[in-house]
Structure 1
Amino acid sequence: MRKILASALLLTAVLSASASHALDASRTPVVVTPLASRTETASGQPITLPQKNVQVLVSSFEIAPGATLPVHKHEFPRYAYVQGGTLQVTNVETGRGNTYKSGDFIVEMIGQWHQATNVGADPVKLLVIDQVEEGTQNTLLRQ
């Protein structure tokens, strides 16, 4: 567990550093391109981490064209990188939504009911990272 957390923290540090400071491409055959830097969720909340033992969960999602996920919320931070497709995420409490496409990075809202729909012709492919209190789930479905 500590190795996973340490790896995640190292990756975060490398991605948040500027490309010129992270690695010298003239000596190392690696190019780092920062993709995102956020301090707030999609709905403007500050990002806060779990206060107990943190567990990092990594998943891939594939959402078929036209499919809509059930209304749900997350109690802990969830990040998603859109690898393909077009996804519309709507906060059902406020009616406000955002549309994300391939290459976008999402910091999902915390504790707010929302819903996502694949609004494109291709499957939506997501790489999803959750930071939860160890042993807990991060998605609650609205009953």
Structure 2
Amino acid sequence: MMAVALSAGAALALEAVTVTPLYEKTETASGKPIVLPQNNVRVIVSTFDIAPGATLPVHKHPFARYAVVQAGTLKVINVETNEAKIYKTGDFVVEMINQWHRAENIGSDAVKLLVIDQVEGSAANTILKGQ
């Protein structure tokens, strides 16, 4: 009897939830497959605030990085292909993996990002060119 009551309660709880898919992607911003860490996966969630007119140095990410643009306008340039993409408030970004790129705030307001990294162990997920 108890199991039936729990199952009925769980069914009622699920009926009260509406799921709206917002984004689905199988490749990075440059069209490459998303590759995830294989060992000792660590998830890091951060916020980034990028001042108006600021340009980030050329860098790459060895592991998956995702971002939600919470405010502002960000231009990301793949320095290997010279292709650029513009991301605005509300956009979801699947960053390039192992490709050199740079970003710049091209708006008059700060860019605010919610960033989610998936890395192996204690590894960093940003490598600056020349390091």
Instruction: State the TM-score bracket (shorter-chain normalisation).
Output: 0.7 to 0.9
CA RMSD of aligned residues (A): 1.8
Output the amino acid matched with 1:89. Answer: V
Match of 2:36 among 49, 56, 74: 49
Task: Tell me the residue number matched to 2:56.
Answer: 69
- Residues 94 and 32 (structure 1), Cα distance of their counterparts in 2 relative to 1, 3 Å cut: same
Output the amino acid matched with 2:78. Answer: N
Task: Please tell me whether the aligned partners of residues 72 and 139 of structure 1 are also in contact (alpha carbons under 8 angstroms).
Answer: yes
TM-score normalized with structure 2 length: 0.86
Q: After TM superposition, where is structure 1 displaced by more than 6 Å over at least 4 residues in a row?
A: 23-26
How far apart, in 1, do the equivalents of 2:25 and 2:13 lie?
Answer: 25
How far apart, in 2, do the equivalents of 1:118 and 1:40 lie?
Answer: 24
More contact order relative to length (CA 8 Å, sep ≥ 6) = 2
- Aligned pair count? 120
- Residues 26 and 129 (structure 1), Cα distance of their counterparts in 2 relative to 1, 3 Å cut: closer
Residue 108 of structure 2 corresponds to residue 136 of structure 1: no
Say which one has the larger Rg: 2
How far apart, in 1, do the equivalents of 2:30 and 2:12 lie?
Answer: 36
Unaligned runs of 5+ in 2: 1-10
How big is each residue's C-alpha offset from its partner over 1:68-109, in whole Å with a ceiling of 9 and x where there is no partner?
Answer: 001100000000000010000000111001000000000000
Unaligned runs of 5+ in 1: 1-22
Match of 1:107 among 85, 88, 94: 94
TM-score normalized with structure 1 length: 0.79
